[in-house]
């Protein structure tokens, strides 16, 4: 049985779902000769870890309790009642995490898994890669930081996996890596990489007011608590930056042209969420509907996409696209990516499927962890 020590950063929706997947897949992984030995789980304030990280682990009961406590909004510190080791405080937790990474990185190896949404993990990740640890990311921020941080993270390419940073569980990164490593240069990527904006654009296509569609999407749980986090296009821009850098573009986030679906005067600094949804967003309905009508007259539809082309073009925003194209046929919250290369020139490689959701994203993280099992003794 191959044992893979694992330390998880982040106990939000994706992190909790990953722990649940690990527990529920025990028998399957045993048949495959693999055991994921969770030695620690950390949130922004506390770390719970095994009493001896070299030989012991957090048992499945403890992992289930972590999920229950965190889903109720409780602190990890309460898990001390189960007899596990607890470190409280942001600074103290980070210091202990680094101690564990240094110890296991040299001894057995460690899968350092970042399912947070924080930029605070970047410095830690830059250090653990030099300790011999493997890095698995669902967090986009480390890969969209400075080029210096990015270069450090990918300096050991066999030891990093980040499929879930772009299309949840969709095989986007793996497919691109296969093309690039086979000498098939990718010259254009266009894709709808936001389930939220994919849903919004396909609904307004049917004549529904933009404001109403956004409110329904929020009620369905498709958007962030503040829908402007999605409508700003920043999340799509981060995904575009990850893809562009994978293709060798040495650019930063401020190099990307980003179209926001609301003006600056309706931003979080100027309006509350309630004001935006109550009176602000309604004023955008006519403009969006006019753009929908103009596209329809041209036989096209509107989609919010990222476009990476040539050596310089990288932008995200609304584009008119043919109705019969893969992106034009997109409905609901699926993600679609068209990849054009030498081999896929006239007919692109198309990747489509659910590109959001904690379950799908966590499954992608789990697959990434299993993909690096050969690096462990």
Average pLDDT, the chain: 95
Instruction: Give the per-residue SS3 of 143-188.
Output: HHCCHHHHHHHCCCHHHEECHHHCCCCCCHHHHHHHHHHCCCCEEE
pLDDT of residue 82: 67
Contact 39, 7 (CB under 8 A): yes
Taking residues 232-236, what's their average pLDDT?
96
Is residue 221 predicted with pLDDT exceeding 70? yes
Binding-site residues for L-homoserine: 224
Please identify which of the residues 239, 257, 323, 346 carries the catalytic annotation. 239
Contact 234, 268 (CB under 8 A): no
Per-residue pLDDT tens over the stretch 66-99 = 999 999 988 888 777 666 799 999 999 999 999 9
Taking residues 227-253, what's their average pLDDT?
97
Q: Is 58 helix (H, G, I), strand (E, B) or coil?
A: coil
Binding-site residues: 10-15, 140, 224
pLDDT of residue 222: 85
Residue 224's pLDDT band, with cuts at 50, 70 and 90, is confident
Torsion of CA 6, 9, 13, 18, to 10 degrees: -10
Taking residues 34-41, what's their average pLDDT?
98
Q: Is 20 helix (H, G, I), strand (E, B) or coil?
A: helix
Instruction: Give the per-residue SS3 of 306-336.
Output: EEEECCCEEEEEEEEEECCCCCCCCCCCEEE
Binding-site residues for NADP(+): 10-15
Per-residue pLDDT tens over the stretch 346-357 = 999 999 998 888
- Active site includes 323? no
Domains and CATH numbers, the chain: 2-168+359-375 (3.40.50.720), 180-355 (3.30.360.10)
**CA 227, 229, 233: angle at the middle one, nearest 5?**
110
Binding-site residues for NADPH: 140
pLDDT of residue 278: 93
Per-residue pLDDT tens over the stretch 147-162 = 999 999 999 999 999 9
């Amino acid at each position: 049985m191959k044992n893979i020590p694992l330390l998880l950063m982040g106990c939000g929706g994706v992190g909790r779902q990953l722990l649940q997947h690990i527990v529920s897949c025990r028998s399957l992984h045993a048949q495959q000769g693999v055991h994921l030995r969770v030695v620690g789980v950390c949130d922004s304030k506390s770390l719970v870890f095994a009493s001896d990280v070299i030989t012991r682990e957090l048992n499945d009961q403890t992992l289930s309790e972590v999920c229950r406590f965190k889903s109720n909004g409780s602190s990890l510190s309460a898990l001390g009642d189960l007899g596990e080791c607890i470190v409280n405080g942001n600074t103290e937790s980070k210091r202990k995490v680094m101690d564990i990474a240094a110890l296991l990185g040299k001894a057995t190896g460690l899968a350092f898994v970042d399912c947070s949404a924080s930029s605070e993990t970047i410095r830690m990740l830059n250090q653990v890669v030099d300790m011999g640890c493997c890095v698995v990311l669902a967090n986009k921020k480390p890969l969209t930081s400075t080029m210096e941080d990015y270069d450090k993270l990918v300096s050991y390419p066999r030891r990093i996996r980040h499929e879930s940073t772009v299309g949840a569980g969709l095989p986007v990164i793996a497919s691109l890596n296969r093309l690039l490593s086979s000498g098939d240069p990718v010259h254009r990527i266009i894709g709808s990489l936001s389930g939220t904006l994919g849903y919004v654009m396909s609904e307004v296509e049917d004549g529904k007011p933009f404001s109403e569609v956004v409110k329904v999407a929020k009620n369905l749980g498709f958007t962030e608590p503040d829908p402007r986090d999605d409508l700003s296009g920043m999340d799509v821009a981060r995904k575009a930056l990850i893809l562009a850098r994978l293709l060798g573009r040495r650019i930063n986030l401020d190099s990307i042209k980003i179209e926001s679906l609301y003006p600056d005067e309706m931003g979080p600094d100027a309006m509350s969420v309630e004001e935006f949804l109550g009176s602000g967003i309604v004023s955008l309905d006519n403009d969006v509907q006019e753009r929908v009508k103009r596209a329809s007259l041209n036989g096209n539809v509107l989609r919010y996409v990222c476009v990476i082309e040539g050596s310089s073009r990288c932008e995200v925003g609304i584009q008119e696209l043919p109705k019969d194209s893969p992106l034009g046929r997109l409905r609901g919250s699926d993600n679609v990516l068209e990849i054009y290369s030498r081999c896929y020139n006239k007919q692109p490689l198309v990747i489509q499927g659910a590109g959001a959701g904690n379950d799908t994203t966590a499954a992608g993280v789990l697959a990434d962890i299993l993909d690096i099992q050969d690096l462990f003794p």
